[in-house]
């Protein structure tokens, strides 16, 4: 045991974005299919009026398997880490992550990244 690694970030104890650098999670399923894990972050208004259910339902309708789902208010370090994953460094754009709860959904499916991009293109 022992393991090193970074301690959980302060300000809530939620290690949502504690990884030292981003990694693409994927593995081969039976039959040689590439299974990818995607993380969807929904902020602000999505959590109002029960719209968060539509986010999960949308993923399920696209044959994603939801492996984890939670709400969290991110601290500054977590928000900056998540922003860096998406190339966002502008502090005002990260403010909604720190101001209120966000819906964080981890979901997987074969070719998950391209399937999510295609689904987002159809809805937006």
Task: Please report how many Cα atoms fall inside a 13 Å half-sphere around the Cα of residue 41, on the Cβ side.
Answer: 19
Confidence of residue 25 (pLDDT cuts 50, 70, 90): low
Nearest alpha carbon to residue 38 among 124, 115, 122 = 115
pLDDT value of position 110: 92
* Residue of higher predicted confidence among 41 and 20: 41
| Euclidean distance between CA atoms 74 and 119, whole angstroms | 27
Domains annotated for the chain, with CATH where assigned, are 40-123 (3.30.70.141)
| pLDDT one-digit tens code per residue, 55-112 | 888 889 999 999 998 888 899 999 899 888 888 888 888 888 888 888 888 999 998 8
* Residue of higher predicted confidence among 104 and 5: 104
């Amino acid at each position: 045991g022992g393991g090193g690694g970074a301690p959980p970030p302060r300000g809530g104890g939620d290690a949502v974005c504690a990884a030292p650098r981003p990694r693409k999670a994927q593995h081969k399923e039976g039959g040689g299919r590439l299974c990818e894990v995607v993380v969807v972050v929904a902020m602000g208004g999505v959590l109002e009026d029960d719209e968060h259910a539509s986010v999960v339902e949308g993923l399920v309708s696209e044959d994603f398997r939801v492996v984890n789902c939670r709400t969290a208010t991110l601290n500054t370090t977590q928000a900056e880490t998540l922003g860096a994953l998406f190339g966002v460094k502008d502090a005002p754009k990260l403010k909604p992550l720190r101001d209120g709860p966000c819906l964080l959904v981890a979901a997987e499916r074969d070719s998950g990244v391209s399937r999510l991009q295609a689904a987002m293109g159809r809805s937006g």
